[in-house]
Amino acid sequence: MSKITDKELEKQGWTKRFSVEEVRVAEYKTNYEELGFEVLILPTAEVETDITCDQCIHEGSCTLVTIFTRPK
């Protein structure tokens, strides 16, 4: 399965916000939804970015998710 890229998501109207530990994502999702955004949450290891991430992604132990938003 190929990774989706930041550029592909941008073409769909998504804005990359940040990556965060999965256990904290619910509060950020709620906050963005209250501000009127759609929220897309993807495992960071499944998103191809221009930024080199830590070794954990390559080892398969990454617990980060990346938050993307777009206006509703």
Cut 0.95: pTM above it: no
* 51-67 pLDDT, tens digit each: 555 555 556 666 788 99
Bridge partners, 21 (sequence order)? 64
Between 56 and 6, residue with greater pLDDT: 6
Residue 62 Cα distances to 4, 18, 28, angstroms: 17, 15, 19
